[in-house]
Chain A
Amino acid sequence: MAATNLTQAAPGRPSPAQASQPAQEQAHQEHPIGLYLKVWGLLFLLSAMSYAVDYFHVQGLLRWGLIVTLMLAKAGLIVAVFMHMAWERLALVCAILLPPLALLVLVGLMASEAGHTFLARLVMFP
């Protein structure tokens, strides 16, 4: 039932060939409401854990490790389930998720730049 509804073309689509897509193309987007509730609960739990890291003054490497791990877990759940990336076609997944990795290069460059600036400030403005 949902299959026939969802394959109807959105207005303004350029290609009339679109209508010939197989019906199961997007029918898989309907998921049981329980899945969303579970992910919702998990996100609450993970957020509470991040807050607990701060509340109980966890310090050092453990603090940063926990913050980043919890952050990535939350981001992964939102993208995979709430934004349906887990059920998208691989071409779209790659086109959207791979380019942001270039930001890691920028982070690496800027981290070394920041270290240089910091040392220069220590030397020049003691």
Chain B
Amino acid sequence: MSTIALPTSTAAPAGSAVSGWRQLIADWSSDRQAFHVAWGKAMMWIFLLSDTFIFGCFLTGYMTVRASTTAAWPNTSQVFALHIGGADVPLILIAIMTFVLITSSGTMAMAVNCAYRRDRVNAAALMFVTAGFGEMFVGMQAFEWSKLIMEGVRPWGNPMGAPQFGSTFFMITGFHGLHVTCGVIYLAVVATRLLRGKYERAGSYQIVEIVGLYWHFVDLVWVFIFAFFYLW
């Protein structure tokens, strides 16, 4: 696919001027690059690919224990129901969490769009809004965890059915919640730096798109968890 010939003559002969890791990188890449996108973006994509395998393995493990247990699997529709207005609304908390996360994905997309137009203040403001929705999501997850723990759900057993339910629930949603928490911190750090003009001086707003990739990935993982863990 690569149609762009990079001028190789501009680079110093590998090995003469540089040493150590720089030299190793120069030798291995031979001053060529496979992906003609910003370096940080390619690296974030590769990190997200590795994360895809982590969550893929979690969900596959969940499938394995759920398919191999002889005990009845707890009915998630009822387990995650909330008592609102005198009636049990099935799975309502999870539905609200899903909508909160999608909303945050939308505001993140807007922030990236603002960053392309170098609208610094709006991009940072939208990133803080995104982080706020992320924090709201984590808060609801903490509520959900407390509720289940009070109902007696443990990693090794629960009163509703198959003991594997607890271990997979805490493992998968816990790891996802950790990702959301890290994302909130990441967003807050980058948005603060953006406001202070750090990226103005560096000359590139690319970092906003990179944070955006991470945040959309967190939403993407939730799509799969929602479908396989809560709805299945």
Contact = CB atoms under 8 A, between A and B. Distances in A.
Contact of B52 (A44, A50, A51, A100): A100
A95 B115 CA distance: 26
Given A22-B4, A54-B77, A17 B224 contact: no
A114 B206 contact: no
B226 A118 contact: no
Contact of B227 (A18, A20, A67, A103): A67
A78 B223 contact: yes
Contacts of B182: none
A99 interface: yes
Given A51-B95, A89-B1, A117-B68, A15 B105 contact: no
Contacts, number: 199
Interface residues of B, number: 77
A60 interface: no
Contact of A110 (B64, B216, B223, B226): B64
Summarize A's interface: helix, strand, loop or mixed. Answer: helix
A88 B37 contact: yes
Contacts of B116: 2, 6, 29-30
A4 to B, nearest CB: 11
Given A29-B116, A33-B113, A17 B63 contact: no
Contacts of B102: 40, 43-44, 47
Given A83-B217, A89-B35, A14 B109 contact: no
A78 B216 contact: yes
Interface stretch (B6-14, B131-139, B149-157, B183-191): B6-14
9 nearest CB pairs, A to B: A114-B67, A71-B227, A117-B68, A40-B106, A114-B68, A103-B56, A36-B109, A17-B6, A110-B64
14 contacts: A5-B205, A10-B207, A26-B37, A29-B116, A50-B226, A51-B91, A75-B223, A81-B109, A89-B36, A92-B35, A107-B63, A110-B64, A115-B68, A117-B68
